[in-house]
Chains A and B, each alone.
Chain A
C-alpha cells in the first residue's frame, strides 16, 4: 500500500517568489494535515482538512499561505510571496477519521530553502 506522497522533495527559491507543495494522502484517509518543521524542532500544525473542508487553520499565516483540497483527496499548499523565514520542511500527513486519538501517517516532506 502506498504511503503519503509529497512532491517536490526539495525546492530552492528566491524570496518574494511563489511556491507550491503537493500531497496525496493514503487512499481512504479522510483527514489531511499540513505541518511545518523547522530545523531541530518538532512539526507544527498549519492546517487540517476533513474531506474538502478546512476544520482547523488557526496556525496558517493567511496573509501569504493558502491551501486547498478541492475534491477531498490530494491537497496543495501555497506560499506567495515566500520569505526567508519560510525555509523549513513542509510535511503532509493523513489519518482515517480525524475524530481524535489516532495515529497520523506522514510523507517524506518538501524541504524548502528561501534565498
Chain B
C-alpha cells in the first residue's frame, strides 16, 4: 500500500554541522506535509509544514524541501545543536476532502555529537 517512509533510521552529526533528514512518500494525492520532532518521553512537536504548491519553506534554522517529481521530502537543520537530538517524523495528509488524516513515517533518530 502507499505509505510514508524514511531512508535512514539513525543519523549522527557533529555539533555545528548541518543535518539533512530524508523522507519518501508514495501517495501522489498527498498535498500537505509536516515534520515533527519527538524527544524521549514526549509527544511529537511540530517543526515545519509545507503544502504541495510549494517546493521550499524556511523556518528558524530549519528548511523543508519538497520534490513532487520524485515524491521526496527533506528536512534540513542548520548548525545542529545538542538540543536537536531527537526522533524526526515526516507526515503526509491526503487532502481536505478526507479530513485531517495525517499518516506518519517510521522516524529517523538524530544524534548530535558534541
Residues of A within 8 A of B (CB): 4, 31, 40-45, 48, 50, 55-56, 91, 93, 95, 97-109
Contacts and interface: CB of A to CB of B under 8 A. Distances in A.
Contacts of B51: 101
7 contacts: A42-B105, A43-B89, A55-B99, A91-B43, A91-B44, A101-B95, A101-B96
A40 B45 CA distance: 16
A22 B91 CA distance: 25
Nearest to A89: B43
B44 A100 contact: no
Contact of B104 (A4, A44, A101): A44
Given A31-B100, A91-B43, A106-B45, A101 B105 contact: no
A43 B46 contact: no
Interface residues of B, number: 29
A31 B45 CA distance: 17
Given A42-B89, A91-B44, A109-B43, A104 B101 contact: no
Contacts of B91: 42
> Which 10 residue pairs of A and B lie closest in terms of their CB atoms, listed nearest first?
A42-B104, A106-B43, A100-B96, A101-B32, A98-B100, A103-B46, A106-B44, A108-B43, A42-B89, A43-B104
A41 B98 contact: no
